[in-house]
Structure 1
């Protein structure tokens, strides 16, 4: 019974993908959504998605969910360079607005087409899929915060400038930080300008090109690492309707119970304070410590 139901759910999703309801890179209904729609157990819905993943039709993307991996029939879409056009600009601008308001997980080609009042399949004339669309979105987000002209004359001022601009991008668009990859970086002209900026600032410091690039990666990783908390908190508040302060207030009793013994005396003193977790202040503290340490490590 369970296997038949799983196959039936998989067949329904497969048909909807073939009909163009979901395109490459679009997120399909989650297991929770499938359990509600079909009235089945979570394991049954999970099995349905697993069947399509085994076929190569779907793939799991960390932080996003299960997305379409191939065009109907199993053929992967040909990767092509997106050509700039007014329509493509509208697509990217609309996608950024949706991601800003609702998070990247809600973004789909079908949703963007609906926002623009155009057929879903016509979007593929302007972007080749959701992955390409997200790349264009990130590139535009960085382009909104241009690096200053002229550049600061000292290396520390230059590195502070790029770090604070990156933080501003992540602050304005919380979905950008988790969407970016350090190990498999997207090709983003606007972001590569930040790389070039750091390398130029360190050019006369006696570092090898590799060592200078290590500094860039370290600095970017710090900023991005702090910024992923922005998206996580935005999503948590959207899903629960509870702000971070309200959540902490609700945990006061449990926190007091945890620290009432003698095991955590230093932590207890912190909990007795009116402590405010200010991410902007923490970012500045961490940036100052990182650059202070770097000053001692540079030749």
Structure 2
């Protein structure tokens, strides 16, 4: 049995035995990591399995709790196998909503079918498999926020704008960072529109095609790399029921006691602005400026002939 299934089974037994009752918070991923000696991904999958089975659900501001026990019905509800209101777009929208609320670990074709009120096999009439579903979800996310219709003449402003736009997309859909591979791009017109827009931004300023592509990949990779923190923040908020700023507040006393030892004088200076220092949007903007500074140096060196074309 896979480790995550073993953990899910153990928690399900606690729920059945009522050592965990409806409304009780279940152990967080970090608690499961400590108890079962597994990685965060395994613990996350275990909680996702419980959500898929309807044993737990997420309560905003509280975290993951045991779901109410279902009432007995006189007869099983009739499933709507298909109909004029079911479409590929609706299947994709449902999948995006699940991933937005609970992360990719909670996503499965069975879960989507359950949300739509159809049999799991019905979905294969609209998507070939989960891989295609995920690709369509990614495309839907990028289609929701296309590149601007007008491009600033200044390359730096334009690259900054497209990077900020992608940051907005990842903020809306933190799971997206998992499904946008860098070295194995897939045919995805809406995502490729962002690439084309960025390449046109730096076309004609002295860079060869490979360097242009590298500039785009470096800048977009910066956005993707930073967006990993968005997914981790969403998972932590889901588990704990509190925001990052609220969590920092709970740690303030312990941090101040540690700084009082005098071992971390430079870190101690940041105590009063700890929240601002760890604000993801501020850190993103700071880093983006530095990355664009580097691109500016590259362009200047190419223009003056101080850098070989193969460097």
TM-score, scaled relative to structure 1: 0.72
1:290 aligns with 2:291: yes
1:1-299 aligned at under 5 Å gives the runs 30-37=5-12, 65=45, 87-273=87-273, 275-276=275-276, 277-298=278-299, 299=302
TM-score, scaled relative to structure 2: 0.69
Alpha carbons of structure 1 residues 64 and 251: separation in structure 2 relative to 1, 3 Å: closer
Question: Are the aligned partners of 1:139 and 1:191 in contact in 2 as well (CA < 8 Å)?
Answer: yes
Q: Greater RCO between the two (CA within 8 Å, min separation 6)?
A: 2
In the alignment, structure 1 segments of 5+ residues that lack a partner are 1-5, 11-27, 47-60, 68-84
- Tell me the number of residue pairs that the alignment of Structure 1 and Structure 2 aligns: 241
User: Hey, what's the Cα distance between the residues in 2 that align with 1:257 and 1:294?
Assistant: 42
Per-residue Cα deviation, 1:170-197 (whole angstroms, up to 9, x for no partner): 1111211233222333432111111112
Alpha carbons of structure 1 residues 160 and 116: separation in structure 2 relative to 1, 3 Å: same
User: Hey, what's the Cα distance between the residues in 2 that align with 1:264 and 1:280?
Assistant: 26
Per-residue Cα deviation, 1:213-257 (whole angstroms, up to 9, x for no partner): 111111011111111111111111111112212211221232123
In the alignment, structure 2 segments of 5+ residues that lack a partner are 15-31, 49-84, 303-311
User: Hey, what's the Cα distance between the residues in 2 that align with 1:62 and 1:169?
Assistant: 27
Question: Are the aligned partners of 2:248 and 2:275 in contact in 1 as well (CA < 8 Å)?
Answer: no
By how many angstroms is 1:29 displaced?
5.8
Question: Are the aligned partners of 1:156 and 1:291 in contact in 2 as well (CA < 8 Å)?
Answer: yes
By how many angstroms is 1:34 displaced?
2.0
User: Hey, what's the Cα distance between the residues in 1 that align with 2:189 and 2:208?
Assistant: 23
Q: Root-mean-square deviation (CA), in Å?
A: 3.0
By how many angstroms is 1:286 displaced?
1.5
SS in 2 for 1:187: coil
Question: Are the aligned partners of 1:178 and 1:231 in contact in 2 as well (CA < 8 Å)?
Answer: no
By how many angstroms is 1:63 displaced?
10
User: Hey, what's the Cα distance between the residues in 2 that align with 1:242 and 1:150?
Assistant: 40
User: Hey, what's the Cα distance between the residues in 2 that align with 1:146 and 1:274?
Assistant: 35
Flag as ranges the 4+ runs of structure 1 deviating above 6 A. Answer: 61-64
